[in-house]
């Protein structure tokens, strides 16, 4: 049962990341329409592979290696995940339209 719940948690993190990508794309379109310039695009596919592999590896380890749930480790890590998600959401709200997946700048734009 804990493997199923963990898998659902990792899937939820993946879905949240996809949502971040959609917001990032929208912000990039907004910045480009105002003269924004993007840098760092070449490394983006590598980052996608790394992040996807990390999430897939988390699930694979539990299912293929039969890792048990360790409450002394699992519960604090869940609390840390929730805290980090809250911080990430706050950072996204503060950056406004400035948050994009790649490094971009929009000279003179107010966010």
Q: Given this model, what pLDDT does residue 71 score?
A: 93
- Provide the β-strand partners of residue 38: 104
Whether the predicted model's global pTM rises above the 0.85 cut: no
Percent helix, strand and coil across the chain, each rounded to 5? 75, 5, 20
Q: With contact defined as beta carbons under 8 Å apart, do 72 and 8 qualify?
A: no
pLDDT tens digits for range 26-72: 888 888 888 888 877 788 899 999 999 999 999 999 999 988 999 99
Is pLDDT above 60 for 111? no
At 23 the pLDDT is: 85
Q: How high is the mean pLDDT of the chain?
A: 84
């Amino acid at each position: 049962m804990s493997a199923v719940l963990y898998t659902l948690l990792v899937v939820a993190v993946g879905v949240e990341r996809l949502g971040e990508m959609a917001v990032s794309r929208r912000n990039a379109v907004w910045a480009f329409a105002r003269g924004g310039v993007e840098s760092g695009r070449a490394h983006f596919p590598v980052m996608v592979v790394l992040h996807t592999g990390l999430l897939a590896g988390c699930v694979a380890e539990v299912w293929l290696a039969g890792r048990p749930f360790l409450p002394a480790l699992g519960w604090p890590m869940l609390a840390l995940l929730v805290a980090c998600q809250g911080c990430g959401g706050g950072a996204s709200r503060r950056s406004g339209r400035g948050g994009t997946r790649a490094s971009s700048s929009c000279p003179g734009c107010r966010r």
